[in-house]
Amino acid sequence: MQSNVHRVTPETALQWLTHNTSNRPLSKSFVAQLAGQIQRGEWQLTHQGIAFDEDGILIDGQHRLAAIVKAGQAVDVIVTHGVPRTAFTVMDTGRKRTGRDALALAGEVNAVHLAAALRGLHLYQQGTESAWSGASSMTSNDQLLELLSQHPAMREALTYGQSLNRGCRITVTAATIGWYLTTRERPDVDQGAWFAGVTTGALLEGGDPRLTLRNTMLNLAAGKTYRRKEDSREHLLYYLKSWNAWVEGRELKLLRRSPGETMPKISRKPVSAPAQASLSA
């Protein structure tokens, strides 16, 4: 076998893909993820690259090549020729490094929940419903680390998210993002009464948005099962709708998501008299 570093252009990548005669099915979402990394300048030269067997057949690297074509940019890649065809069965069988792994290696605690919350924050910031599914919902490890550097208060928000999860079974991801967004956008609002109301429900009357959120989350936890991604997306929508109603002093007796309803933005209206009263109570 012989390996060398090549500057692979989109044209070269396209030509090499013609030698891809027997490989696993191409994942368009993974190609889009890799292409995004190339376009953002996250691509790095590693020992992983492109491999051809003794007959010049491409046996490893089809996704990298397709991503170079999609990105329209040349990158440096290790290219190996003469790999025994029998080695094909053991390629790419190692576990992929996840966002949790990247954060843990950077010394972060609670890396599992922190990675999920950062990913959710990134999707919320995209501002479109389509961002929550398909290739656009994928977040690279480099993006997660950059997000944390831009939003360091997410670490503290995670502690509140975990407490809210214990109090009313809202997902840690949704509660962390909700707490972070509302405290960042509305530093004029004291969140103590919100936190106490949602986690305990003590002394709250029907129609109070805090009680409605709490009861909705507890009922969902008791009676329904969702995929985790849908949980956090739905729970975040309920969190923000409830918080907006609370800060505006509106009653909220029912939480549901209407067809086509988009993720709420943080209310900029002045704190209402009822909310002020709950803050000083």
Q: What is the pLDDT of residues 84-100, one digit of tens each?
A: 877 765 665 445 678 88
Q: Are 121 and 174 in contact (CB under 8 A)?
A: no
User: In the predicted model, is pLDDT for residue 278 greater than 90?
Assistant: no
What six digits make up the tokens of 270? 């002045």
Task: Return the residue matching tokens 């849908």.
Answer: 230
Q: What is the pLDDT of residue 228?
A: 45
Least confidently predicted of 36-50, 68-82, 181-195: 36-50
Domain spans, the chain: 2-90, 152-280
**pLDDT, mean of residues 245-264:** 92
**pLDDT, mean of residues 208-216:** 96
Q: What is the pLDDT of residue 279?
A: 52
**How much is the mean pLDDT over the chain?**
88
Q: What is the pLDDT of residue 277?
A: 64
Neighbour order of strands in the sheet with 58-60: 2-8, 75-83, 50-53, 58-60
Q: What is the pLDDT of residue 229?
A: 45
- Confidence class for position 26, pLDDT limits 50, 70, 90: confident
User: In the predicted model, is pLDDT for residue 176 greater than 90?
Assistant: yes
Q: Is 172 exposed, middle or buried (0-12, 13-18, 19+ CB in 10 A)?
A: buried
User: In the predicted model, is pLDDT for residue 143 greater than 80?
Assistant: yes
Neighbours of 221 (CB within 10 A): 15
| pLDDT tens-digit series, residues 41-54 | 999 898 888 999 99
Q: Are 196 and 188 in contact (CB under 8 A)?
A: no
End-to-end C-alpha distance for the chain, whole angstroms: 75
For residue 53, the cross-strand partners are 83
In the structure, how many helices (H) and strands (E) does the chain have?
Answer: 12, 4
DSSP string over 164-179: HHHHH---HHHHHHHH
What single letter denotes the amino acid at residue 14? Answer: L
User: In the predicted model, is pLDDT for residue 155 greater than 80?
Assistant: yes
**pLDDT, mean of residues 167-185:** 97
- Confidence class for position 201, pLDDT limits 50, 70, 90: very high
User: In the predicted model, is pLDDT for residue 272 greater than 50?
Assistant: yes
Q: What is the pLDDT of residue 244?
A: 97
**pLDDT, mean of residues 128-147:** 76
Q: What is the pLDDT of residue 92?
A: 58
Query: Within 13 Å of residue 50, how many CA atoms lie on the same side as its CB?
Result: 29
Pick the residue with more confidence: 221 or 209? 209
